Structure 1
Amino acid sequence: MENYRKSAHCTYDIKYHLVWITKYRKPVITGQIALRTRELIRIICQSNEVEILAGHVGSDHIHLLVSVPPHLSASKLVQYIKGNTSRKLQMEYKELNKQFWGQHLWARGYFVASSGNVTDEIIKEYIKNQDLQERSNSDNFEIGER
């Protein structure tokens, strides 16, 4: 319960591991650009109520472990981060424009995996033991008898 976050009508613990790379895997996120990238990601996450639990800015990729509110999907968060950082970094660092034509700093796509304290097996066991009534053995989406 200590890691749970709360909103007005919800208690949650949703964590994502996110990874994305620069276009052509070019190692351009270094020095001042790396510092600015980290700063921009922090600002975007803060404005969307996303807590950064861990992060790494590599020269050609970004790793984040974030705690996200339930109203924000992983795809929307990545869209916000990649879109805003690409636009602002290319406006502020003109040397990036020479390497990335067409306003695309990041490659298409990303990796996402959910993370949590409970394994799939524990959740399945919890659901299975909800109502210890007569059940059909062939179905794993059961209706409890009242």
Structure 2
Amino acid sequence: MPSYSIAAHTRYIIKYHIVWIVKYRHDILVDVAISDAVNKIIREIAERYGFTIISLGTDGNHIHVFVSAPPRFSPSQIVNILKSISGRQIFQQFPEVKKRLWGGEFWGDGYYVGTVGDGTTTDIIKRYIVNQGKETDHKGFAQLKLF
């Protein structure tokens, strides 16, 4: 059975794969010190906001974040929080980076986000919804218990 997170009156499994780039696609994250700092900062921000970083990786000019967050946060809010705070902190820790990124921003505009499930496919959800209220065999459908 999947592992649910719990918040006030809510149980949830919400996971996102989020990717965004360094401004102008500069290969700033090849610098191990900066890459390590980004990793540490993102994890600290996530902890402060109640997000769970499942996995995080940088690759030269972009970052991948696999994150779970409470349902009160939209994907755009999660990205905004992580990008804005981490960008400011990186500029504070590495002032020389700000000179390379003359626009005053560490991260580029935009991002990719995709949802990730726990083995529950689109077909399973569609079948479950279609069969609601019908006498049918619901094998394979775990019933969520809120309380």
How far does the alpha carbon of each residue in 1:67-99 deviate from its partner, in whole angstroms, 9 at most, with x for none?
111111111111011101111111221111111
Name the SS for the 1:53 alignment partner: strand
1:121 correspondence with 2:106 = no
Name the SS for the 1:108 alignment partner: coil
Determine what percentage of the aligned residue pairs are the same residue: 37
- Residue in 2 that maps onto 1:13: 13
How far does the alpha carbon of each residue in 1:34-58 deviate from its partner, in whole angstroms, 9 at most, with x for none?
1111111001100111111111122
- Residue in 2 that maps onto 1:23: 23
Instruction: Please report the TM-score for the alignment, with normalisation by the length of structure 1.
Output: 0.86
Structure 1 runs of 4+ off > 6 angstroms?
none
Unaligned runs of 5+ in 2: 136-147
Instruction: Please report the TM-score for the alignment, with normalisation by the length of structure 2.
Output: 0.86
Task: Please show how residues 1-146 of structure 1 align to structure 2 within 5 Å.
Answer: 1-29=1-29, 30-117=31-118, 118-132=120-134
- Residue in 2 that maps onto 1:139: none
CA–CA distance in 1 between the matches of 2:8 and 2:122?
A: 28
Unaligned runs of 5+ in 1: 134-146
How far does the alpha carbon of each residue in 1:124-146 deviate from its partner, in whole angstroms, 9 at most, with x for none?
1001111239xxxxxxxxxxxxx
- 1:82·1:106 contact (CA, 8 Å) conserved in 2? yes
Letter in 1 for 2:40: E
Point out the more displaced range, 57-66 or 106-115. 57-66
Count of paired positions? 133
Letter in 2 for 1:65: F
Name the SS for the 1:106 alignment partner: coil
Letter in 2 for 1:9: H
From the CA coordinates, give the structure whose radius of gyration is larger: 1
CA RMSD of aligned residues (A): 1.3
Letter in 2 for 1:129: N
Name the SS for the 1:105 alignment partner: coil
